[in-house]
Chains A and B, each alone.
Chain A
Amino acid sequence: MAYIISDEAKDLLKDVKNFCDNEVLEQCKEFDRTGEYPADLFAQAGELGFTSLEIPEEFGGPGLSRVDTAALLEEMARADAGFATVISATGLGLKPVLIAGSDEQKQRAADLLMEGGLAAFCLTEPGAGSDAGSGKTSAVRDGDEYVINGRKCFITNGGHAQFYCVTAMTAKDAGVKGMSMFFVEKDTPGLSFGEHEDKMGIRTSSTCDVVFEDCRVPASAMIGEEGTGFETAMKTLDQARAWVGVLAVGIAQRAMDEAVAYGKERVQFGASILKQQALRFKVADMQIKIETARQMCAYALNLMDAGEPFAKESAIAKVYGSDIANECAAEAVQMFGGYGYIRDYPVEKLIRDAKIFQIFEGTNEIQRVVIANHVIGRI
């Protein structure tokens, strides 16, 4: 663990690790198999305050630095990446409110999370993935209300969140300047959910369509000014990416830990396989990547805390963290040999879990577009 964190966070980290080792890791093995949603586990995590970590102190949050929080999230991802995704997607759903919302909205969001709730961020649509600006969901003003119609897809925490931050077009022909962001609470009439997707990995998280059919919200549910929804969404993702990196590092760390523990015990040719330089070098390479990725996450998060520009660094943390998580997971399976390919052993799951980290919150191709834009600028 190489995040440099406060004494407070060190204390919390022990508790989080204890909970993750005893509850999350064990229970999620079975939930990964069945694809069932571990509702009780998330209720407990909510009560323990895991979903409130990113709430600022003035709204009742714990007031930890981002790197402190990262250390806790990494531990959760080490236990189960799907579990950590649910926690982190709650942070993602909170961010638009913190970035552009009113104090009232911030307090409301904070209160819902502190009661143990989850949040969700609804940007992606069937026709608008990487090209998030091409969303078709609309919000039409009607007196003191907006009427939202449309379909969002692949929404983490869909159906389980207490509130949804949703992008919708308030001016159809104005392009991304016609997009606004809304705060939609769980029981709003006209809000419904699709089937829980049957996923390759992070199977303990729920992903589904979020559907709006004449879904009426008060005009006060708009987050920020009309027409700023796309900008808020992009600012949200700029921040969120570093957190994706943090979770990916947790997977990579788990992969290395498992590989080392197994490798010490596994005897071939009369000795532990970790006496073989070929495997020792694999471990060294994993460690180099993990530590580098972690420090990139820490750097991006420190920039955020310091109020410095961070978008490029956050994108790098996401791309690099998720790429190395996939590399480390694959190498861990390799070091387990045939056993690595068998479901009773813990590493094949890591490959399945790691893959999504190169896809969501902006694919790694899109991240490279972002990074290149920052480096090259206008030509």
Chain B
Amino acid sequence: MKIMVCIKQVPDDSVKIELDESTGKPSVEGVEPIVNAFDTYALEMAARFLETGIEGEITTITMGDENSKSSIKNCLAVGASHGYVLHDDLFEGSDAQGTAYALGCAVRKIARDEGGDFDIVFCGIETSDETSGQTGPMLAESLGYSLVTNVIALEKKDGVLHVKQETEDGYNIVETPMPCVLTAARPNYDPRYPTIKSKMAARKMPIGELSAADIGARSDKTGESASLVKTIELAAPPKRKAGIKINEEDIEEASLKAFSIMTDANVL
């Protein structure tokens, strides 16, 4: 079983990020880069899947700059065996489709080099920085693989992959042929922590670097010029107005006050 997990390095989403008025971009300086949370769920699900006694290996890939190697290293410390960074000026400014195209080229290229197709290509459902949620499905399209979204567990039964897909009000169990693309939602556990040992070992593992030429990506299909989606402007959500405090101690009086405020505001 060969599993590819696609990850993206994003700014730590536990930090409140403001829009920089002068550049119109989010100011992320000094914010720790981390692996997108949904991608860490994908990796953890893949690792747990293999730990059920399935022989196989996990490869991770990210499209990003030189310093996204540190995110790949983090993945190598928590279950991945191989890591790649896809980096080229050509990829700058890609939209989701351009990114999915490039990842697709890379997945095929690595499969050729490592001698065999990936059975599962795993992504997070979305990233915490751009939250477009399109890369996974577009990657499935680009590779021509089947797709299951919102995955929270997987199991192999009689040679068939059974995938638990989260829905609004429960879950579906879906059978899918392989190769397939899966996008991970949040399972009911947290990803493992790297151990001191696994981190030290991961630091010594080689990380492959791939350029557009290496993977045979075409310039008319990826990068800014090929982008169908253009970001015109980023805007911060409007600041919420301060609410009205009801200070009455008595419940009855407090309710009456609430009602009178609501009638005054013509919402009742």
Contact = CB atoms under 8 A, between A and B. Distances in A.
A53 interface: yes
A193 interface: no
A12 B199 CA distance: 7
Contacts of A62: 196-197, 200
Contact of A19 (B77, B193, B197, B200): B193
Interface string B28-68: 00001000000000000000000000000000000000000
B93 interface: no
B196 A12 contact: yes
B133 interface: no
Contacts of B196: 12, 15, 48-50, 52-53, 62
Nearest to A48: B195
Nearest to A60: B197
Contacts of A44: 193
A15 B194 CA distance: 7
Contacts of B200: 8, 12, 62
A47 B196 CA distance: 9
Interface string A241-252: 000000000000
Nearest to A72: B196
B193 A11 contact: no
A18 interface: yes
B203 A18 contact: no
A50 B77 CA distance: 16
Main secondary structure of the interface of B (DSSP, over half): helix
Contacts of B203: 8, 11
B73 interface: yes
Interface string A1-38: 00000001001101100110000000000000000000
Contacts of B199: 11-12, 15
Nearest to B197: A49
Most central of A8, A14, A15, A47 by chain B CB within 10 Å? A15
A142 B157 CA distance: 61
Interface string A50-76: 101100000000100000000000000
Using C-beta atoms within 8 Å of the partner chain, give the interface range for chain B.
10 to 19
Nearest to A7: B203
Most central of B77, B194, B196, B197 by chain A CB within 10 Å? B196
Interface string B75-87: 0010000000000
Interface in B169-210: 193-197, 199-200, 203
Nearest to A52: B196
Contacts of A14: 32
B44 to A, nearest CB: 15
B192 to A, nearest CB: 9
Nearest to A53: B196
A53 B195 CA distance: 11
Interface in B104-156: none
B68 to A, nearest CB: 15
B70 to A, nearest CB: 8
Nearest to B202: A11
Contacts of A48: 193-196
A220 to B, nearest CB: 29
Nearest to B190: A22
Nearest to A17: B32
A44 B192 CA distance: 10
Given A8-B200, A11-B203, A62-B200, A47 B195 contact: yes
A40 to B, nearest CB: 14
A318 B37 CA distance: 41
B186 to A, nearest CB: 15
A19 B190 CA distance: 12
Contacts of A12: 196, 199-200
Interface in A344-368: none
A53 to B, nearest CB: 7
Contacts of A47: 195
A311 to B, nearest CB: 29
B125 to A, nearest CB: 22
Contacts of B195: 47-49
Contacts of A53: 196
B51 to A, nearest CB: 15
Contacts of B70: 11
- Top-10 shortest CB links A-B: A49-B196, A49-B195, A48-B195, A19-B193, A15-B194, A49-B197, A62-B196, A62-B200, A12-B199, A48-B193
Interface of A: 8, 11-12, 14-15, 18-19, 44, 47-50, 52-53, 62
Given A11-B203, A19-B193, 11 more contacts: A8-B200, A11-B70, A12-B196, A12-B199, A14-B32, A15-B196, A44-B193, A48-B195, A49-B195, A52-B197, A62-B196
29 contacts: A8-B200, A8-B203, A11-B70, A11-B73, A11-B199, A12-B196, A12-B199, A12-B200, A15-B77, A15-B194, A15-B196, A15-B199, A18-B193, A19-B193, A44-B193, A47-B195, A48-B193, A48-B194, A48-B195, A48-B196, A49-B196, A49-B197, A50-B196, A52-B196, A52-B197, A53-B196, A62-B196, A62-B197, A62-B200
